[in-house]
Amino acid sequence: MKNIRNFCIIAHIDHGKSTLADRLLQATNTISERDMMDQVLDDMDLEREKGITIKSHAIQINYKYKNGEDYTLNLIDTPGHVDFSYEVSRALAACEGALLLVDATQGIQAQTISNLYLAIENDLEIIPVINKIDMDGAMIEEVTDQIIELIGCKKEDILLASGRAGIGITEILEGIVERIPSPKGNPEAPLQALIFDCVFNPFRGIIVYYRIVNGSIRKNEKIKFVSTDQEYDADEVGILKLKMQQTQIVDCGNVGYLITGIKNAKEVKVGDTIISAANPAEAIQGFEEVKPMVFAGIFPVVTDDFEELRDCMEKLQLNDASLTFELETSQALGFGFRCGFLGLLHMEIIQERLEREFDQTVITTVPNVSFVAYTTRGEKINVNNPTEMPDPTQMDRIEEPFIKAQIITKPEYIGNIMTLCLGKRGILINQSYLTQTRVELIFEMPLTEIVFDFYDKLKSQTRGYASFDYHPLEYRESDIVKMDILLNSEKVDALSALIHRSRAQEFGRKLCEKLKELLPRQQFQIAIQAAIGAKIVARENISAMRKDVTAKCYGGDISRKRKLLEKQKEGKKRMRQIGNVEVPQEAFLAVLKLDD
C-alpha cells in the first residue's frame, strides 16, 4: 500500500489535461507508441469532439522511481464541466492528491477554482503544475503569483511543464511519488470501497470503478451496495490498465473495476459504498442522489417512432443514470418524454448521443428549471413542465431555484458582465481581485436565466475571457408566468415557456420573430402570437404562399422532379400539424436560437 498513489488532475477545459495524461502514460510505457491515440482517456467520440471529459475514467500507471522501487500510480480522470460536479467530487474523494494544471497562457479559471476547493475540502495534496510553458504568450510569472495567492504554496513547489513538448514529465512523476501520501486504510478490516464511476458495456453490463478504502475485494466474493442493499457476485475484479486486467484480488488502497452482470446503471450509484455481504461494514460517507437541474421534452420527429425512441432512452439510461425521464404527451408533438438533465450541456450530450449512437432524430422542447408552486389550498406542486403550472387564480405563490454564480474575468470586462448578469436578474454579492489582472465576481441569480443563451452571451461579451461556475442555492419566491405561443389562435403546448414577468414581453417578441423566420409559408396567412393568459404580448404575421409549382417537366426531369416531390412529402411527414398550420422540427428549437 505504501507504493500506491491515487491522484487526479484538476484543470479547466483546454488547459491540456488530456495531452498531459497521455505523456504520463507514454513516459511510463503504460501504452506503446502503437496504441497511442491522442488523448486516450477521452474515449467517447463526443468527448473527443467537445474536448471535454463527460464521464470519468481511471488508468493505472506502473512507475519505477529513481531509487529503483516500483510504484502504482492510479490516475483518476474527472469530468471537466459544471453539469457533472457531483461526479467530480466522488472522483476527488477517491484520491490522496491532485495535479492542479493551469494553462500558462490563460491563468486560473472559475471551474478550476471550484474544483480546487473541492479537492482541498477532501484533504488532497495539491501539486500545482503550470502547463504550456513553451507557448507564445505564456505568462509564467503571473500565473505563478495567481497559484501562490490561491493555495499559499511556495514558488518552488510549482512545477513547469508542457504536455505537448514533453517538458517536466519526469518531475511530475517524481512529484506524485514524493509529495502525494500513500493511501491509509486497514487491509484486514471488512471491505469498504467507494464507487466513483461506472460505465456500461454492451457485452459485460455495468462495469463499476471504485477505490478500496479498507479491506480488499476478491473474485467471486459476495458483495453488497450499501444504498440499494442489493447483493451481487463479484464475477470479475481487476485493475485498470489501458484495457481491463483481471486479477484474483484488488487490495486495500488500490483502484479497480468490478463486473457483476448488472445491466442497469440505476442499480449502481456513484458515491455509494461496496461492502462484503458476509462481513458488512458501514458506508464510507453519505452520498447524494444527483438531482436533475434542467427539464425538457424529447419527442420523436415522426410520431410512429415513439416506441423505438423509448427503447433507445432506456438503453441510454443504462449507462447514464443521471438521465431521468417520464412519459409526456403533447397535443403538438404526441407521445414523448419529459427528461431531467444535470445541465444544458448534459441535455445537448443526450440529444447528440440519441442521434449518433441510436440514430434517432428528436425534437427537444423549451428547457426549463424546476419551479415550486403553492396553491391557495396549500398544496405544493413541483413544476417541471409548463403544463404543470397551476391556474393563476389558484396559485398562492411560486418559487424558483437560485444559484451562486462565480465568474472570473479580466477587469476590462466587468462592465459587460454586470450588464449581462443584472439584466438576467442577478444580484452582485461580491467583487474581488484575485490578482491585478483577474477579478472574481459573485452573483446570486435565478437558475432559469442561465438556461437560455447565458454561456454564449458571456463568451461574446468577454471575448472568451471569462470562466463561469455555479452552485445551487435555495428556492426564492418569484413572479413567474406561463407564456403560450399561438399559431392561428391554436395554442402550441410544446412552445410554452415559464418565464419571469419582467422578461416575458421581450422574450415573446423575439420568439415570434424567430418563428416567423422558421415557419414555411403556407397557403393561408399565419398569425403567430405570444400570450400570457388571455393577454397577447407579441404578434407576427406570415403572409400566404402564392405559388408552389416548378416550371417545366420534360422527359429528363421526371425522375428528378418525382424525387423532389417525394422529399417534399417526406418533409411534410416530419412536420407537426397545429390546427391548420404545419410546423417543422426546427421551429420547436426556436427558443434556443433567440438572439438580440
CB of 300 to other proteins, least distance (A): 18
CB 398 within 8 A of CB 372: yes
Count other Cβ atoms within 10 Å, centred on residue 436: 9
Nearer of residues 534 and 549 to other proteins, judged by Cβ: 549
C-alpha cell at 86: 457531483
* C-alpha to C-alpha distance for 181 and 38, rounded to whole angstroms: 30
Residues that bind other proteins (CB under 8 A): 523, 545-556, 558-559, 561-562, 564-566, 568-569, 572
CB of 304 to other proteins, least distance (A): 12
Kindly report the CA angle at 405 between 464 and 403, in degrees rounded to 5? Answer: 140
CB of 493 to other proteins, least distance (A): 25
Residues in the chain: 596
> Long-range contacts: 31-38, Cβ < 8 Å, 24+?
31/242, 35/242
Amino acid letter for position 542: I
DSSP bridge pairs for 74: 6, 60
CB of 577 to other proteins, least distance (A): 12
Nearer of residues 117 and 524 to other proteins, judged by Cβ: 524
Q: Cell 431555484 maps to which residue? A: 401
Nearer of residues 186 and 580 to other proteins, judged by Cβ: 580
CB of 307 to other proteins, least distance (A): 19
DSSP result, 375-397:
ETTS-EEEESSGGGPPPGGGEEE
Nearer of residues 380 and 573 to other proteins, judged by Cβ: 573
Nearer of residues 37 and 553 to other proteins, judged by Cβ: 553
Handedness of CA 447, 452, 456, 462 (dihedral sign): negative
User: H/E element holding 408?
Assistant: strand 395-409
Closest CA to 176 of 33, 53, 75: 75
Nearer of residues 581 and 592 to other proteins, judged by Cβ: 581
Listed in sequence order, the DSSP H helices in 424-532 are: 447-451, 454-461, 501-518
Nearer of residues 377 and 546 to other proteins, judged by Cβ: 546
Count other Cβ atoms within 10 Å, centred on residue 187: 12
CB of 558 to other proteins, least distance (A): 6
CB of 521 to other proteins, least distance (A): 8
CB of 550 to other proteins, least distance (A): 6
List the beta strands (DSSP E) in 252-333.
Answer: 255-259, 273-276, 294-300, 324-330
CB 518 within 8 A of CB 583: no
CB of 131 to other proteins, least distance (A): 44
Kindly report the CA angle at 237 between 233 and 241, in degrees rounded to 5? Answer: 160
CB of 546 to other proteins, least distance (A): 4
Closest CA to 444 of 480, 382, 507, 400: 400
Nearer of residues 34 and 546 to other proteins, judged by Cβ: 546
Nearer of residues 433 and 524 to other proteins, judged by Cβ: 524
Nearer of residues 35 and 566 to other proteins, judged by Cβ: 566
CB of 542 to other proteins, least distance (A): 13
DSSP 8-state symbol, 167: B
3-class SS of residue 523: coil
Nearer of residues 502 and 541 to other proteins, judged by Cβ: 541
Residues near 229 by Cβ (< 8 Å), separated by ≥ 6?
Answer: none
List the beta strands (DSSP E) in 414-510.
Answer: 427-435, 438-446, 466-478, 480-487, 490-491, 497-500
CB 124 within 8 A of CB 9: no
* C-alpha to C-alpha distance for 483 and 367, rounded to whole angstroms: 13
| β-bridge pairing 97-103 and 125-131 | parallel
* C-alpha to C-alpha distance for 446 and 402, rounded to whole angstroms: 4
CB of 581 to other proteins, least distance (A): 14
Nearer of residues 236 and 305 to other proteins, judged by Cβ: 305
CB of 557 to other proteins, least distance (A): 9
Nearer of residues 331 and 580 to other proteins, judged by Cβ: 580
CB of 572 to other proteins, least distance (A): 7
Nearer of residues 460 and 550 to other proteins, judged by Cβ: 550
| β-bridge pairing 490-491 and 480-487 | antiparallel
C-alpha cell at 592: 434556443
CA atoms within 13 A on the CB side of 274: 35
